Each structure stands twice: as C-alpha cells, then as structure tokens.
Structure 1
Amino acid sequence: MSGHSVQAVGWARSLPMNSEVKAARDWARRHLDTLGWTASAPETVDAVLLTVSELVTNAHVHAHSNAQLVMTWDTRCLHVAVHDDSTELPTPRPPSAERTGGRGMLLVDAMADSWQARPCSDGKTVIACFRPPATEGDG
C-alpha cells in the first residue's frame, strides 16, 4: 500500500415507487446538514437536492422502478448515485416547447460538476458529483 488512504462517509436509502420524491430530498438534506453544507454551501445544497429529485423521479417515472439512493462524501466530492432497474442510459435532451417533461438530465448536467451513467447487470446507476465552493483556508 502507498500509505495514502481515503476517508469517506456515506448514506444509502431505498425509495419504493410509491414513495414521494420529497422524502428523498428531506433525507438528503438531513445528511447535507451533517456536513455543514446548508450553512457553508447553500447553493450546492440546492443543486444536490434538485439532482436527487430528478434522478429519483427518473427511476420511478421512466424506469418504472424503485430507486436506490446513495450519497458518499470523500472530502473532495459528494457523489450522488441513483440505481434503478432499467438498462436504458439517460441522455440530456434539448428543451422543447412540445414536451412538458424531459429536462431532468439537462438540469443535472447544468447543476452537477460532473455526472455519468453506468450500465449494470440489473439496470443502471447514474452518479453526479458535487464539489462545494472553496472556503478561506482551503489552500
């Protein structure tokens, strides 16, 4: 081993299709509170909560699936991952005056520092990364 280690903290929650997306947002906000982000990085908190809403909604509405929500903080990036049962990978679509929906991944793309979708043998996982703004003393 190189002597380097990664310290991380993480949380996981299963959200059945009959659960409200608000439950996912409230759960995520409580964990962001433990990181101190609601005071130090409120804009990042808003972006994370919007992303949680969009990804869980996509799992329920488009994948017709329960959502497995996992958030992991490794001191550099908050990874927000949502797994569902669909193998169809999401892609941002341009806004359209003819569609009332279909902007979720466009929003995720705009809010997250980065995101990716990974196929799995039992569906897919969409992961968005958020870095809070640097604070004084962050070097």
Structure 2
Amino acid sequence: MSTDHPARSGRQQRQQRQQRQQRQQQRQSQSQTRRLPLSGTARVVSRCRDFTERALADWGWTPESGGRAERTEDVLLLVSELVTNACLHAGGPTELVLRHTPDRLRIELSDPSPDLPRRRPRAVSQPGGHGLIVLDRLSLKWGAEPVDGGKVVWAEITPPR
C-alpha cells in the first residue's frame, strides 16, 4: 500500500517547480549586463577600460583589499588586450559587453572581422604577440565565436572573494 496521496504528490511537484523558478529568477536578477557600443580606434582602449572600471566599481570590485585590486587589474588588462587585438587585427571593436553574475564575469568584444584569433609567431625584435598568452593566463577560459557581421571574442574570470 502506497503512502503517497496523489494530491500531495502533485502539490509537491508544483512546490518544487515554483522553488526552481524562484531560484532561476533570483540568479537572473543577480546577473547584470553592461554594453558599450564602439566605433573607430581613437581612444577606444581607454574608453573601454574606463567603462569597465565603472561597472566593476558598481558591482563591488573595489580595489580596497589586495585581492580585489589584483582582480580588477586582471580584468582591465584582459579588456585592454581584447580591444588592442581588435584594433590591430580586425579594424577596431564594435561593442564591449560585460556580463556579471555572482560566480563569473564574462567580457565579450565584438569586431567586424570573421577571422578567429590565432597565435602568431613572435619576433623577439618586435613588440606584441602577447595578447592571447595574457588571455590564457588570466582568464578561466576564453574563446571566439563567429557571428553575423564578424565575431565575438570572450574571456571569463571569477570575481574576487
């Protein structure tokens, strides 16, 4: 003989579904996105860094403690490298998107070139060639995705604890 009453089972399923929906809504409300449309290459690196610094401050990534300051600098360096690469290899960025959740920051940079990033041989006598190495070292993961009108190069990093 079963001890589960059909009405109770249905009620429990509804409650569980409501709890899942509430958790999902809570995660979405904790997620924040900032967008900066871009054009050209003049002062674009500093504009993106300033935009990112303001967003990080709004999200509590203030540099008052050592770990937060270090993490903020890592993010600003990632942004600088992504933007610089877009200027050098893709005609300049078209949009910077920052997606912040409690456990991750995703930096996305769009540009008009369909060519995905690839490592180039470094010439010791010439500057440059470090952008993708910096992405590898500072981010949890990074990648690039073709989109209509170009590509998006992205990097993810954990927030300071």
Report TM bin, short chain: 0.7 to 0.9
Helix, strand or coil for the counterpart of 2:159? coil
Helix, strand or coil for the counterpart of 2:126? coil
Aligned mate of 1:35, from 59, 82, 86: 59
Aligned match of 1:130: 157
Q: Report the Cα offset of residue 83 of structure 1.
A: 0.4
Runs of at least 4 residues of structure 1 off by over 3 A?
A: 92-96
**Structure with the larger RCO, 1 or 2 (CA within 8 Å, 6+ apart):** 1
Q: Report the Cα offset of residue 94 of structure 1.
A: 6.0
Q: Contact 2:102–2:159 at 8 Å: present in 1 too?
A: no
Q: Give the aligned residue type for 2:72.
A: V
The percent identity for this pair of structures is: 35
Return the alpha-carbon distance in structure 1 between the equivalents of residues 84 and 102 of structure 2: 27
Aligned match of 1:103: 130
Aligned residues: 134
2:71 is the counterpart of 1:44: yes
Which consecutive unaligned segments of at least 5 residues does structure 2 have?
Answer: 1-16
Structure 1 or 2: more helix by fraction: 2
2:53 is the counterpart of 1:26: no
Q: Rg bigger for which structure?
A: 2
Return the alpha-carbon distance in structure 1 between the equivalents of residues 125 and 89 of structure 2: 18
Return the alpha-carbon distance in structure 1 between the equivalents of residues 121 and 136 of structure 2: 12
